[in-house]
Structure 1
């Protein structure tokens, strides 16, 4: 039996009401978020998908360089971008969910033969430090103009600068650095070591203050993240990435 026009219209209305959101995601920050083929993969990607799934929201992800991702969220081209380290410098530019997706340690790296240990940011003043464009490394670092920055588009490029002695140190997130050492084992394994801790940062989706749908999906995400933390899904995803 052919469906009636009324049933077709009803099905179209239901489809139109289906809740879905498009977010930007960092394309080169494994194991948290990276573009693999044409898809975004990573620990943070799995968390975001699971949180929205828990509240009936379908997620589409656009993987792009982090600085561009944050810029597009800021002007309202995207509902939000992740993973952003919330701080007072960004606080007024975006909306933020209640609790971070996860926390990650930021470290100072030196060549493996270095005698440095327990370095502080003050000890980096006047030294050239490799960083990645747009990344946040904690307010103490961001507010210290006496630390000389050498900016690259990728963490890998910063570590290659360190190999070539073009920078004195690199600042990077611990798990990202560990991933790079493993992925570039022929060049990197055993060549670097952490010599100081900068901060431990909470990572978030930065929701746009310019996009009209952002408040709706911010509240949905708050509810979804709470849900997967209660029902054990968060711990399950976390265990799968260890």
Structure 2
């Protein structure tokens, strides 16, 4: 009888401790959103990633607040625990040690080497690039685990897409690496679509919301996003959203 009473007291005590923990499930998330990656995210805080993340979290009754910053700044803000997460991050060796990722990617996106149409192709593929070739990339971006192993490249780092394109158009670079959907947007908006073309693929990445590894709220927030994304895929809203930028950007 005494043992039963002790067991009952222990169970009550455990329930008392767990109750506030269960009640503190996050109801809001603060994100760093890139300012120069349309159609996924732009300087006005709009884009496909914004809409998708808000829709997914709305199914979990979680409010989304975004701060629009350069991509590299968003990564640092997340690591400094000033925001909960940053979106459109590729999961690869260089990022998995820095951030916590959920199971459901936001998108799958491909990137290519782009060059001027008036020039002969710079190479047959990325592994046969000639020595000393000048290649432009964006500061802080991920370009796949293979990119750092490419021989012969002289890297130039730009702070925004306009600077990257300008360096190519003024012959200061031989090629730039751009994500294809983003490149299509910028080439069209700047009126130089006929002057620049993708010569060969660099990589394809799954893009995620990358969470602060040091925050206790990151695990439940990542789990909530996973549930929301799965729900959107099941009800067809996810597919409708992707259709807004065509059929080339799809996830499995």
> Is the 8 Å Cα contact of residues 109 and 193 (structure 1) preserved in structure 2?
yes
Residue 241 (structure 1) aligned with residue 245 (structure 2): yes
- Matching residue of 2:205: 201
Instruction: Pick from 218, 221, 224 the counterpart of residue 220 of structure 1.
Output: 224
**Distance in 2 between residues matched to 1:157 and 1:30, nearest whole Å:** 15
Cα offset, 1:18, TM superposition: 7.9
Question: Which of these residues, 127, 135, 138, is aligned with residue 129 of structure 1?
Answer: 135
Preserved contact between residue 76 and residue 208 of structure 1 (Cα < 8 Å): yes
> What root-mean-square deviation, in Å, do the aligned CA atoms of Structure 1 and Structure 2 show?
1.7
Unaligned residue ranges in structure 2 (runs of 5+): 1-23, 247-252
Q: Is the 8 A contact 1:78 1:211 kept in 2?
A: no
Task: Give TM-score scaled by structure 1 length.
Answer: 0.87
Shift in Å, 1:237? 1.1
- Runs of 4+ aligned structure 1 residues displaced above 6 Å come to none
The answer to whether the 8 A contact 2:26-2:220 is kept is no
Cα distance 1:18–1:204, how it changes in 2: closer, same or farther (>3 A)?
A: closer
Q: Give distance in 2, aligned partners of 1:41 and 1:112.
A: 31
| 2:33 is aligned with 1:29 | no
Over 3 Å counting, the alpha-carbon distance change for 1:145 and 1:24 in structure 2 is farther
**Per-residue deviation at 1:118?**
6.6
For residues 102-148 of structure 1, the C-alpha deviation after alignment (integer angstroms, 9 at most, x for no partner) is 11110000101122177322223521101110011111113336421
Structure 1 residue 112 and structure 2 residue 117: aligned?
yes
1:96 equivalent in structure 2? 101
Change in CA separation of 1:162 and 1:52 when aligned onto 2, cut-off 3 Å: same
Give the conservation status (yes or no) of the 8 Å contact 1:136–1:142: no
| One of 157, 160, 165 as aligned partner of 1:154 | 160
2:185 to 168, 179, 197: 179
For 2:27, the equivalent position in structure 1 comes to 19
Take 2:25 and 2:184, find their aligned partners in 1: how far apart are those partners? 43
| 8 Å CA contact 2:26, 2:217 repeated in 1 | no
**What does the per-residue CA deviation read over 1:151-201, in whole Å, with 9 as the maximum and x for residues that have no partner?**
01012211110111101101000011100011111xx13111110101111
Question: 2:243 is paired with a residue of what secondary structure?
Answer: helix
Distance verdict in 2 for CA 1:160–1:17, change over 3 Å: same
Q: TM-score, normalised by structure 2?
A: 0.83
User: Partners of 1:20 and 1:238 in 2: how far apart?
Assistant: 25
Report deviation, 1:17: 8.4
Matched, 1:50 2:55: yes
Deviations along 1:54-103, one digit per CA (max 9) or x if unpaired, are: 11111011110000101111221111001101101111211111021111
